């Protein structure tokens, strides 16, 4: 199975400041079809997860442009340019290149 490792596991951020989460996979998630099957999700408290970023760097519909994804191969980053109060929750990255699809452990983001 592909192991997906996120760092840090928790983050406390002052509103308006940037935040960054790293996601590393044990194998490349670049598929032979040219797609990079790496996704980012946010689970707000008491809610279902929601898709933020797909294929490593594409913002999903309705996601604010302060969220951005980057990276390739095995190393990826989610950046929030200016954290807002509504961004609190647990962020997960997920690889979809190989079964079983696997998630990182999650990064809990809180506001200072």
Contact set with other proteins (CB under 8 A): 35, 37, 39, 41, 43, 48-51, 54-55, 60, 90, 92, 94, 96, 99-106
- Can you give the length of the chain in residues? 112
Residue 32, Ramachandran bin (φ over 0: left; ψ between -120 and 50: alpha; else beta): alpha
CA 75 to chain centroid: 11
Nearer to other proteins, 74 or 107 (CB): 107
Q: Least distance from C-beta 87 to other proteins, angstroms?
A: 18
Distance (Å, whole) CA 93 – CA 66:
17
Q: Least distance from C-beta 34 to other proteins, angstroms?
A: 12
Nearer to other proteins, 58 or 79 (CB): 58
């Amino acid at each position: 199975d592909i192991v997906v490792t996120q760092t840090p596991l928790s983050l406390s951020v002052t509103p308006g400041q940037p935040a960054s989460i790293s996601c590393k996979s044990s194998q490349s998630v670049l598929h032979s079809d040219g797609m990079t099957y790496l996704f980012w999700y946010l689970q707000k408290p008491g809610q279902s997860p929601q898709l933020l970023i797909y294929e490593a760097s594409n913002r999903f519909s309705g996601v604010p442009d302060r969220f951005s994804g980057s990276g390739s191969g095995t190393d990826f980053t989610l950046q929030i340019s200016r954290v807002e109060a509504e961004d609190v929750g647990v962020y997960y990255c997920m690889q979809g290149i190989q079964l079983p699809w696997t998630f990182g452990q999650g990064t809990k983001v809180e506001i200072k």
